Amino acid sequence: MARKLMKGTEAIAEAAIRAGCRLFFGYPITPQNEIPEYLSHRLPQVGGTYVQAESEVAASNMLYGASGAGVRVLTSSSSPGISLMQEAVSYMAGAELPVVIVNIMRAGPGLGGILPSQADYLQATKGGGHGDYRVPVLGPWSVQEAANLTMEAFDIADRYRTPVMVLGDGLIGQMMEPVELPDERPPAPDLPPKTWASTGWKGDRPRAVINSLYLDADTLEAHNRHLQQKYRQIRERERRFQMRFEEGDYDLLVVAYGTVARVALSAIEELREQGRRVALFRPISLYPYPYRELAAAAEKARAVLVLELSAGQMLEDVRLALGRSRPVHFHGRTGGHLISPEEAANRMVEVLEGRSQEVADV
């Protein structure tokens, strides 16, 4: 495997192909256009099909149909486009269809701007569409990890029959880094066969009906119980996180995901050289959120600082994990502004020196 310099968007697109994805439906929007652009020429080379739909609504419903036929399928978009897809995501969650959705977040709300943001966290992790459902969400912090998690997302989708989202920001989409990709990344060997898929009825099994409509309350409640059982399994088995500087003591625990965690890491490394005791907790799976692991990591710290490119969305999960056990501080940027390492370091020092106010309850 040779290292190749790739943009995050291109690496995600190529990773999907290596994972056996042969269908893409989408509609262009900045800052993720290189994904459809790349797949428009790359998919035909491997016998796949690229369709630019007439809208995100159409693309997401094409996803529903393709997944119902049992094939690996991808779409990608950015914040406003992802909002348009949420109806179909709810339907796919209801009909238990495995698909992979990439959201390269831009600043909102509304059309907002095209610069990086993490302000779709709540939409991604707490639902997005209507009804009681959850979508596993993975937040990469490097181009290599974006590629790896995209490949893994297809397995998670197939294992649990659910939409899975790869949630990156504009920075991860637009930056280039060296990437190593396997020639082929076959599906995990223990994935269940897709006996439910609608692939043509030959009389040898019950008809495969792909549906999310259950008009009878008892039937629908039973279906919901089944879905919740599945989400419990996902919460048990699919938590992913990483810590840095967890060995030894630390006074401050910084929590950040995606590219912001890298900015935080740079700041922490600089502060540690000055003798400050700071550690990093980076959730990789945003749903399921690593609550228990975060709570355990915070035990050593006197305070916790959350950094995000939003007004404070993952912050809610951090507070859910920690309750009132530790003072939680927050620093966020919006509008497409990034947090610089200097800015992050300054906030860390403020918290360490007692010059920061903890997040209030209202």
Residue of the chain from 26, 31, 70, 290 that contacts other proteins (CB under 8 A): 31
Q: Map residues 166-205 to x or -, x wherever contact with other proteins holds by CB under 8 A.
A: ----xx--xxxxx---------------------------
- Region from 96-104, 261-269, 290-298, 347-355 binding other proteins, contact rule CB under 8 A: 261-269
Tokens of 43: 């998919």
Of 175 and 359, which CB lies nearer to other proteins in the complex structure? Answer: 175
Determine if 296 is a binding residue for other proteins (CB under 8 A): no
Distance CA 5, CA 15 (A): 14
**Binding to other proteins, residues 138-157 (CB under 8 A):** 142
DSSP string of 201-249? --SSS----------SHHHHHHHHHHHHHHHHHHHHH---EEEES-SS-
Determine if 341 is a binding residue for other proteins (CB under 8 A): yes
| Cα–Cα nearest to 307, from 249, 248, 355, 351 | 351
Of 87 and 269, which CB lies nearer to other proteins in the complex structure? Answer: 269
| Cα–Cα nearest to 283, from 300, 267, 311, 304 | 304
Cis bond upstream, residue 109 (ω within 30) = yes
Residue of the chain from 265, 286, 322, 352 that contacts other proteins (CB under 8 A): 265
Phi/psi of residue 276, nearest 5 degrees: -80, 140
Q: How far is the CB of 339 from other proteins (least distance, A)?
A: 8
Distance CA 144, CA 330 (A): 28
Q: Which ranges of 96-183 would DSSP assign to H, the alpha helix? A: 121-126, 143-160, 170-174
Q: Judged by CB under 8 A, how many residues of this single chain contact other proteins?
A: 28
Tokens of 169: 């920001």
- Region from 39-47, 193-201, 306-314, 338-346 binding other proteins, contact rule CB under 8 A: 338-346
Of 67 and 174, which CB lies nearer to other proteins in the complex structure? Answer: 174
Determine if 113 is a binding residue for other proteins (CB under 8 A): yes
Determine if 112 is a binding residue for other proteins (CB under 8 A): no
Residue of the chain from 262, 272, 277, 300 that contacts other proteins (CB under 8 A): 262
276, 313 Cβ separation under 8 angstroms: no
Please say whether the dihedral angle defined by the alpha carbons of residues 25, 28, 31 and 33, taken in this order, is positive or negative: positive
Q: In what order do the strands lie in the sheet with 252-255?
A: 241-244, 278-283, 252-255, 303-308, 328-332
Q: How far is the CB of 4 from other proteins (least distance, A)?
A: 9
- Region from 80-88, 197-205, 226-234, 332-340 binding other proteins, contact rule CB under 8 A: 332-340
Q: How far is the CB of 138 from other proteins (least distance, A)?
A: 19
Question: What residues line the site for other proteins (CB under 8 A)?
Answer: 3, 5, 30-31, 113-115, 142, 170-171, 174-178, 259, 262-263, 265-267, 269, 336, 338, 340-343
